[in-house]
Structure 1
Amino acid sequence: MDNKEYTLIKKQLTSLMDQSDLTINGLAEGTNLSSMTIRKILLQQTKPSVQTLEKITAFFEITIAQLFSEKLINIKRIEDIEALKDFYEDNKSNPEYFSSRSKEGIATYFLRNVLIKDQYFSEPRRAKEIHVYIKENPKYSKNFNPKVIAKVLDRMYNEGILKRMDKTGKKSVFYYSVNS
């Protein structure tokens, strides 16, 4: 397997997890794979075996060829994918399996879909300032872990959603703003 194939599988798997609202732990549980295996695939540190690929494709009702395709896979509605539907029903009360319900997932959703629309983000802000703003603004009153906020902001920067400035030049304190 070459680097391109690793990159394609990572891209497809990340997209499948986003579309199905699954965390690494959720995907691991649903496919009967270890979370370490899923992490290593996403970090491109392991070549997934045929058996691993078969478990993933069976869970999402896709083909192995689709995992290696440049074109992103669009899965059917969750209700139409038997294994995924059963997984959702069996694990409703387990928030760690679903991105939108895990603590980091809730912070990610909030920053990507709510706070990014706030004028506050038009000016460059440090992660600590953003944390205080979210916590003390009566409009939000959310107390997310500052490290989680910093991690989500960094991810949003890496995805091109936010701009990041290093005003100190030490690569330790960053200022984030909307990438317009």
Structure 2
Amino acid sequence: MEENEYQRAELVGNQLTSLLDQTGINVTGLAIATDISVNHLRTIKNGKASISSKTAGKIADFFGVEIDVIFSAKLFKLKKWETIETIKNFYEENVNNPQFFVARQGEESIAYFIKKELIPTMFFAEQREVNYVRKYIKKEYKRDFSSKEISRQLNRLTDSGVLSKEDKTGNKSIYLYKLKSKKGS
């Protein structure tokens, strides 16, 4: 790319970053909405790719802006995104897809899941092995986390004082995790 192409790519990247930030949608969500590959959008967002008018048009259509906004050096301030039909529809259609939204990305993580789903239900009131936890989550919640992911998070919760951990066999291969009892209760 020539120097002015680099500058243009950087302007487009800055504009795209700003539009995404304003709407709370991440690159993965935009890729789904516009049918542009995630990798291509990341490259554009990082200011490292030229952008065709067709691609710019798809992005502009989604954000409800004129195509020249995508190429503008001045960052565009969207009106309330809730009033932009394409964005509003995207939010409504993807309410069950937290991975598309910046503020909800953590919901897909095992950490979020254990803290928000299992601990409040007193699931860990009894000692639980990692494999039991994994099978329970898969059966009851239709979520498939690996034993390694679960173990890592349970150890973090142990380190932070939420859970206690007991060596079941004495050879440090199987541990039992339980909610720590609160002092005075």
Letter in 1 for 2:13: K
Structure 2, unaligned runs of 5 or more: 110-155, 163-185
Superposition TM-score, scaled by structure 2 size: 0.54
- Structure 1 residue 137, shift from structure 2 partner: 9.0
Taking only the aligned residue pairs, the percentage that are identical comes to 36
Query: Alignment RMSD, CA only?
Result: 2.5
- Structure 1 residue 44, shift from structure 2 partner: 3.0
Q: For the Cα contact (< 8 Å) 2:19–2:76, is it kept in 1?
A: yes
The 5 Å alignment of 1:52-71 reads: 52-71=55-74
Q: What is aligned with 2:40?
A: 37
Superposition TM-score, scaled by structure 1 size: 0.56
What is the SS of the residue equivalent to 1:102?
helix
**CA pair 70-99 structure 1, distance change in 2 beyond 3 A:** same
**CA pair 28-136 structure 1, distance change in 2 beyond 3 A:** same
Provide the aligned length of Structure 1 versus Structure 2: 112
In 2: Cα distance, 1:45 partner to 1:74 partner: 23
What is the SS of the residue equivalent to 1:51?
helix
The 5 Å alignment of 1:1-180 reads: 2-103=5-106, 136=160
Structure 1, unaligned runs of 5 or more: 107-131, 139-180
